[in-house]
A = this chain, B = another copy of it.
Amino acid sequence: MVLVGDRGEFDLIKLLTDGLSYTPQTIVGVGDDCAVYEISKGKYLLATCDMLIEDVHFTRKTASAFLIGCKAIACSLSDIAAMGGHPLFALISLGLPETTPEEFATDLYVGIRSMCRDHQVALIGGDTVRSPDKVVIDVSMLGDCPKGKFILRSGAKSGDAIVVTGYLGDSAAGLDLLNKKVSESDSERRSELVQAHLAPEPRCQPGIFLAENFDVHAMIDVSDGLAGDLGHICEQSKLGARIHADKIPVSDTLKEFCRAARLDPLAYAVTGGEDYELLFTLSPKELACLKSEWPEEFELPLTHIGEMDKAIKGINIVSPDGREQPLQVRSYEHFKKR
């Protein structure tokens, strides 16, 4: 008997959704950050859902209820941002064991409601049910596209610059610290990395800014790690990519932590997930304009890390000494045995 644990997440999704028959209104179905539905002529709805289960996606041992609630909303906001869309409203299904302290439920909702308020998302409905032993949170979020434009993973062109917002790898290092796989004696550094994991900031305004003002060809949010998510752009755009190791943005905090712990920051930055930064491609000329117009108030670095190249299969990485070699793509997949 084949078990679902014998397959990787992406294989399983393919098996379950292969050959789905969509209606003509379904512009984009399963396989991007959001689905796209044409609700009336030229008006597109973005739709995404994310399920978080206790002891798989979070644990009450290391995360406060407030932050779990915030992050549940942040994941969905990030999916909408990665299409260049505006979030509109959300539905929350919540499964709670009977033994959950009521304070956990109310604090969770304080987080959910505060994140919704900050991003002007209307929390319009939901379902609250009993769960035998784990807290389960499912967020569905609907959004729309300013000027009817949305950015897919599949539109990258050969020669495009590959650009990422913010820094990569902090979240994965924070998770390792929470799981006590590594340690950090400097409490400020520890707290910054842990914060990156527990309280990621979805890039809503930057996503809208990019969609409204620039000809961005492909975009995704970095939830599965740079290698995995750039891999999705490559696959869906049917192109390869080259990235430059010394250009991958790593925060000073991650560098210092890795120096002390004798770890490679690049490993965190390339394969770590849940940074929720935006990864996108556009022509070098368009990138030049973007750099000059990127709003300072975003307080968010923009880094050109490589280029799309039809001559490459998969992803190549160029080391500081100029050597170029294929990157072993690895990203977080539910189910996959490691």
Contacts and interface: CB of A to CB of B under 8 A. Distances in A.
Interface of A: 1-7, 9, 12-13, 15-17, 20-23, 25-26, 28-30, 34-35, 37, 39-40, 43, 45, 47-57, 88-89, 91-103, 105-106, 109, 113, 117, 120, 122-134, 136, 138, 140, 142, 144, 334-335
- Copy number of this protein in the oligomer? 2
A37 B124 contact: yes
A57 B132 CA distance: 11
A102 B7 CA distance: 9
Contacts of A49: 91-93, 125-127, 138, 140
23 contacts: A4-B97, A9-B128, A16-B106, A17-B123, A22-B122, A23-B122, A25-B88, A25-B89, A26-B89, A29-B123, A29-B124, A30-B126, A51-B95, A51-B127, A52-B129, A95-B136, A98-B335, A131-B136, A133-B134, A134-B134, A138-B140, A140-B140, A142-B142
A124 B12 contact: no
A27 B1 CA distance: 49
Given A4-B99, A12-B105, A25-B88, 12 more contacts: A5-B97, A15-B105, A15-B106, A17-B123, A30-B125, A35-B124, A39-B88, A40-B43, A49-B91, A51-B93, A52-B129, A130-B335
A101 B136 contact: no
Nearest to A96: B4
Contacts of A22: 122-124
B335 A30 contact: no
Contacts of A99: 3-5
B26 A124 contact: yes
A96 B19 CA distance: 22
Contact of A103 (B1, B7, B45, B142): B1
Nearest to A13: B128
A69 to B, nearest CB: 10
A21 B122 CA distance: 8
Contact of A105 (B4, B48, B88, B131): B4
A135 B124 CA distance: 26
A37 B87 CA distance: 13
Contact of A91 (B4, B21, B48, B94): B48
Nearest to A20: B123
B122 A25 contact: yes
A20 B113 contact: yes
A7 to B, nearest CB: 7
A45 B56 contact: no
Given A3-B99, A100-B3, A103-B1, A128 B334 contact: yes
Contact of A53 (B39, B106, B129): B129
From A5, A6, A43, A122, name the one whose CB has the most chain B CB atoms within 10 angstroms: A122
